[in-house]
Chains A and B, each alone.
Chain A
Amino acid sequence: MNVKFLNPFLDAIHEVLKTETGIDTSKGDLKLEKGPYTTDDITVIIALVGGVEGMVFYSLTKETSICLVSKMMGEEITEFNSLAQSGIAELGNVITGRASVKLSQAGYESTISPPTLVIGKGSQVSTLDCPRLIIPLSSNVGTITVHLALRDGINQGQKTAQIPVPAKPVI
């Protein structure tokens, strides 16, 4: 994981949360982790492909997501229904999209995937050999934890093998 990918995300999160929800965030201590990540209530997963490749997770509690979506939509939402789900996924999408624009200004062209939402506490999500940079962002509606498992893209379009698979299995 390369720290140069960090600032575009921090700026994007700050800007998007400020404009969409009016919430200020402050950055906590950064951590680098290699093991799997144990999920919180809600995780938004978005992949980047291109000059930068890897995964971005936004992890937050149900309460925080409901608060964020309520502020974003300007109406009180009480349960994490499908509208709230698509709102949170969209927030992840907008943040990642803006970060990828900033990355491309820094010379790293990349494309983002549609968001996927993982709902449920206590599952393990592993990015395998790609270590994750963890950024806790605290706000007055709770903490949003951002996980960046990014690396320089190997040639565009070329597949990166995680481990070499033996051509002929030895049995």
Chain B
Amino acid sequence: MDVKFLNPFLDSAAEVLKKEIQLEITRGPINVQTSALTTDDVTVLINLVGQIQGVVLYELSEATALGFVSRMMGQKFNEFDNLAQSGIAELGNVISGKATVALSKSGLDSTISPPTMIIGKGTKISTINFPRIVVTIQTDLGNVTVHLAIKESPPDGKNINFVPLIQEAVSTKQ
């Protein structure tokens, strides 16, 4: 995992949150985690595929999520309903999309997947052998934790097996 992927995401988050929600962000401490993460109320999961590959997770509490969509749509949300869910997912989509544009300007093209949303506290999400860079973005409406588990793809661009252990296990057995 390379730290150079971090800034495009943070810049993009700052820009999008400012434009859509009029929020100023401050960057909290950065750390690297390899163990599984335990989710907060709402997690948006977006995959990147291309010259860089991996997964980006945006984690926030339900209160923060409701605060964000209420401001974004200009109406009060009390419940994390379908519209609120798609609003938060869209926010993740826009932030990731903008970040990939910035990354492609630095020569690394990638495409993002549609967002998936995981709702429910205390679930574990594992990115297997990808270490994650974890940054907390602090805002007036609460914190958003961004997890980046991204690496550069091998130059041939071929699909590789990310966990090569099975073949080894099989071949040593035979």
Query: Given A90-B162, A163-B90, A53 and B113 touching (CB < 8 A)?
Result: yes
Q: Is the interface of A mostly helix, strand, loop or mixed?
A: mixed
* Residue pair A94, B169 in contact (C-beta under 8 Å): no
A159 CA to B97 CA, complexed, in Å: 7
Q: How large is the interface on B (under 10, 10 to 19, 20 to 34, 35 or more residues)?
A: 35 or more
Kindly supply a per-residue 1/0 record for chain B positions 17-32, scoring 1 wherever the CB is within 8 Å of any chain A CB and 0 otherwise: 0001110000000000
> Given contacts A163-B86, A166-B74, A169-B21, is CB(A117)–CB(B125) below 8 Å?
yes
Q: Report the nearest B residue to A167, measured CB to CB.
A: B19
Q: Is the CB of A114 within 8 A of B130?
A: yes
- In the complex, chain B residues whose CB is within 8 Å of the CB of A32: none
Is the pair B90, A86 in contact by a Cβ cutoff of 8 Å? no
- Tell which of B36, B119, B129 touches A36, judged by Cβ atoms closer than 8 Å: B119
What distance in Å separates the Cβ of B127 from its nearest Cβ neighbour in chain A? 6
| Interface residue? B1 (CB, 8 A) | no
Question: Is B39 engaged at the interface, CB distance under 8 Å to the other chain?
Answer: yes
Report the separation of the CA atoms of residues A86 and B161 in the bound assembly, to the nearest whole angstrom: 11
Given contacts A47-B113, A120-B124, contact A165 B159 (CB under 8 A): no
Q: Complex Cα distance A165/B50, Å?
A: 26
A170 to chain B, nearest CB (A): 4
Chain B positions within 8 Å of A169 at CB level: 20-22, 71-74
B48 interface residue (CB < 8 Å to A): yes
**A-side contacts of B166, CB under 8 Å:** 20, 72-73, 87, 90-91, 94
Interface residues, chain B, with chain A CB atoms under 8 Å away? 20-22, 36, 39, 45, 47-50, 53-55, 71-74, 83, 85-87, 89-91, 93-94, 97, 109, 111-120, 122-130, 149, 159, 161-163, 165-166, 169-170, 173
